[in-house]
């Protein structure tokens, strides 16, 4: 990942020559900016709805803490030691410890995953942009659930509109990465992220006035274990990776700019608490509206876009709040999408004669074109299916359920089994007991958890 574009006011380290975060805060902000995005506000609630509620939520929380956190820390640790892009970092660390150079595949799968994810991520980023315009023009005011649902269905039925907004979102992403102004964007997130959080809290408050708050809370936190099956567990695990931006080399790249003084466990706690907080708030904002209006929790990817507009259309100040919400959602999506584009661009820059701008344009155009196939899944190509999945779902499933877990598994196995463990203990600043717990998680619980889920699904 190009240092100039991803560091908030980066300064080259005197000893390594590799750029470093100017502050612990800059690092945490960038990592949180990548983690918090559409995954929290758009994807998490509809996955909860499709998977039947609390059983999914609890498995997801277990996956985040038992598998996600150790992998997040492992990716940072590997990045900080390798000080290079994910592919070279893995190759070099493997060589230095006398292991096979195929470990570099862990980084390579990540870059391919980022490429695929961004194609459909940008389509949804486009929806957020489109809805910002709708909210600002007062299109939601006074509409009932049928009208809002119909408006969304009509929107999906117009490939031209989806293409326009997907294109605008992709141009924004490409522009930010090509011009190397990510640092500015990240500084902006100091203001925008808390603002988005605040609006979510207001929406949770609104949910409390709908009369269905208790029902929503029970739906999200009181599990009906009969809803649990292999598919739900797989979905929960995949989403834990997606939401924390794991298995994509991104956190590894962020770790490579990290100074020795940053405590990885504490940093992970901050990022994970924020990420999970956003997701749970989104759920508690959306489900009261779902139940109060008799909507279908399993409506799928459109869930956020048919519930929140209903609230914005009927609350006082809904016009301003709705516009702001979709603006900030777009912003959160952008801080994640730039983190997805960066590794692809960087790889092209290093492996081809292209310069930064050229690499960004080539990567952006290819991803944009793949995105068109994804957006056609909602209309013209709705019946184009492979293994029962349309192209949009296929891209989502292949990345979240296979590529990210495999790459994440590679990272943690490497960190826990292939690195010299005394130095790991020192790096994590753990005493004997703490390190035992870490070893248990990183060597056994997390890798076996991932393998178990895979095996269960085969
Ligand atoms: N974590 C982001 C989200 O939850 O929206 C999406 C994402 C960004 C996934 C970056 C993967 C990634 F590398």
CB-ligand 1 contact for 125 (6 Å cutoff): no
Residues 212-230 have pLDDT tens digits of: 999 999 999 999 999 999 9
Q: Which long-range contacts (CB under 8 A, 24 or more apart) does 30-33 make?
A: 30/6, 30/186, 30/254, 30/339, 31/245, 31/251, 31/254, 31/267, 31/271, 32/189, 32/193, 32/270, 32/271, 32/274, 32/275, 33/185, 33/186, 33/189, 33/193, 33/332, 33/335, 33/336, 33/339
How many structural domains are present in the chain? 1
Which sign does the torsion angle of CA 428, 433, 437, 443 carry? positive
- Span 314-335, average pLDDT: 93
Flag whether 437 is in a domain. Answer: no
Worst-scoring range by mean pLDDT, 124-138, 253-267, 269-283?
A: 253-267
Ligand 1 neighbourhood includes 114 CB (under 6 angstroms)? yes
Residue 66 domain flag: no
Strand partners, 389: 386
User: Nearest residue CA, atom 12 of ligand 1?
Assistant: 245
Residue 80 is assigned to a structural domain of this protein: no
Counting beta carbons within 10 angstroms of the beta carbon of residue 208, is it exposed (0 to 12), middle (13 to 18) or buried (19 or more)?
A: middle
- Structure tokens belonging to residue 93: 């660390």
245 lines ligand 1 (CB under 6 A): yes
CB of 38 shorter than 6 A to ligand 1: yes
**Distance, CA of 302 to CA of 38 (rounded, Å):** 12
Residues above pLDDT 90, as percent of the chain: 79
Q: How many other C-beta atoms can be found within 10 angstroms of the C-beta atom of residue 332?
A: 28
Residue 159 lies in a domain: yes
107-161 residue pLDDT tens: 999 999 999 999 999 999 999 999 999 999 999 998 999 999 999 999 999 999 9
Q: Are 282 and 265 in contact (CB under 8 A)?
A: no
Provide the sign of the torsion angle of the four alpha carbons 296, 302, 304, 306, taken in this order: negative
- Is 409 among the domain residues? no
pLDDT (0 to 100) of residue 19: 65
Between vectors from CA 297 to CA 294 and to CA 298, what angle results, nearest 5°? 130
Residue 252 Cβ inside 6 Å of ligand 1? The answer reads no
Which of 38-47, 247-256, 359-368, 440-449 is the least confident region? 247-256
From 245, 281, 329, 400, mutation site for ligand 1 pocket: most ligand atoms within 8 A of C-beta: 245
Q: Find the angle CA(278)-CA(343)-CA(326) to the nearest 5 degrees.
A: 35
CB burial of residue 388 (10 Å; 0-12, 13-18, 19+): exposed
Q: Is residue 193 part of a domain?
A: yes
Choosing from 31, 37, 400, 411 the residue with most ligand 1 atoms within 8 A of its CB, the one to mutate for a pocket test is 37
Residue at token pair 């908030």: 8
Q: Residue 181 is encoded by which pair of tokens?
A: 């102004």
Q: Is the pTM of this model over 0.85?
A: yes
Q: How far is Cα 125 from Cα 139, in angstroms, rounded to an integer?
A: 19
Three-state DSSP at 389 gives: strand
Whether 96 is covered by a domain: the verdict is no
DSSP string, 276-328: HHHHHHHHHHHHHHHHHTT--TT--TTHHHHHHHHHHHHSTTHHHHHHHHHHH
DSSP, res 101: G
pLDDT score of 91 more than 60:
yes
What's the pLDDT tens digit per position in 348-375?
Answer: 888 899 998 999 999 999 999 999 999 9
Q: Which residues pair with 386 in a beta bridge?
A: 389
Determine the Cα–Cα distance for residues 143 and 133; give it in Å rounded to an integer.
16
* Cα 333 to averaged position of ligand 1 atoms, centre (Å): 9
Comparing CA positions, the residue from 213, 150, 174, 237 lying closest to residue 364 is: 174
CA of 436 to the centre of ligand 1 (A): 30
- What whole-number distance in Å separates Cα of residue 215 and Cα of residue 207? 11
Q: Which domain does 138 fall in, by range? A: 28-61+106-243+263-404
Whether 334 is covered by a domain: the verdict is: yes
Predicted local distance difference test score (pLDDT) of residue 281: 97
């Amino acid at each position: 990942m190009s240092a100039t574009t991803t560091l908030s006011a980066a300064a080259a380290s005197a000893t390594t020559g590799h750029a470093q975060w100017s502050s612990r805060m800059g690092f945490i902000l960038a990592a949180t900016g990548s983690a918090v995005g559409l995954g929290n506000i758009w994807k998490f609630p509809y996955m909860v709805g499709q998977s039947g509620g609390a059983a999914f939520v609890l498995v997801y929380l277990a996956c985040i803490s038992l598998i996600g956190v150790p992998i997040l820390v492992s990716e940072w640790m590997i990045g900080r030691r390798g000080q290079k892009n994910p592919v070279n970092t893995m190759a070099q660390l493997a060589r230095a410890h006398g292991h096979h150079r195929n470990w570099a595949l862990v980084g390579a799968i990540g870059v391919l995953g980022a490429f695929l994810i961004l194609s459909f991520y940008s389509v949804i980023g486009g929806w957020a942009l489109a809805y910002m315009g709708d909210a600002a023009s007062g299109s939601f005011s006074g509409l009932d659930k049928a009208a809002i649902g119909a408006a969304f269905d009509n929107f999906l039925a117009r490939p031209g509109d989806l293409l326009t907004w997907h294109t605008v979102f992709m141009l924004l992403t490409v522009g930010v990465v090509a011009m190397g102004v990510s640092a500015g964007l990240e500084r902006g997130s100091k203001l925008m992220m808390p603002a988005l959080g605040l609006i979510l809290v207001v929406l949770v408050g609104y949910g409390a006035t709908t009369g269905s708050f208790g029902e929503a809370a029970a739906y999200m936190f009181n599990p009906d274990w009969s809803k649990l099956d292999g598919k739900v567990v797989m979905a929960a695990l995949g989403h834990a990776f997606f939401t924390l931006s794991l298995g994509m080399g991104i956190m590894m790249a962020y770790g490579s700019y990290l100074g020795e003084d940053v405590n990885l466990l504490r940093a992970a706690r901050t990022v994970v608490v924020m990420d999970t907080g956003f997701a749970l708030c989104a759920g508690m904002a959306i489900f009261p509206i779902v139940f109060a209006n008799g909507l279908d929790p399993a409506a799928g990817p459109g869930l956020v876009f048919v519930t929140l507009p209903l609230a914005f259309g009927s609350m006082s100040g809904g016009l301003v709040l709705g516009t702001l919400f979709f603006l900030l959602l777009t912003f959160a999506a952008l801080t994640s999408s730039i983190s997805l584009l960066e590794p692809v661009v960087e790889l092209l820059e290093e492996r081809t004669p292209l310069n930064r701008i050229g690499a960004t344009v080539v990567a952006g155009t290819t991803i944009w074109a793949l995105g068109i196939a994804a957006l056609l899944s909602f209309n013209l190509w709705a019946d184009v299916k492979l293994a029962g999945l349309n192209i949009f779902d296929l891209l989502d499933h292949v990345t979240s359920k296979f590529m990210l877990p495999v790459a994440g598994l590679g990272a943690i196995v490497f960190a826990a089994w292939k690195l010299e463990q005394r130095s790991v203990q020192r790096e994590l600043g753990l005493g004997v007991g703490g390190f035992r717990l870490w070893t248990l998680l990183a060597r056994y619980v997390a890798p076996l958890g991932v393998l178990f889920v895979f095996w269960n699904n085969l």
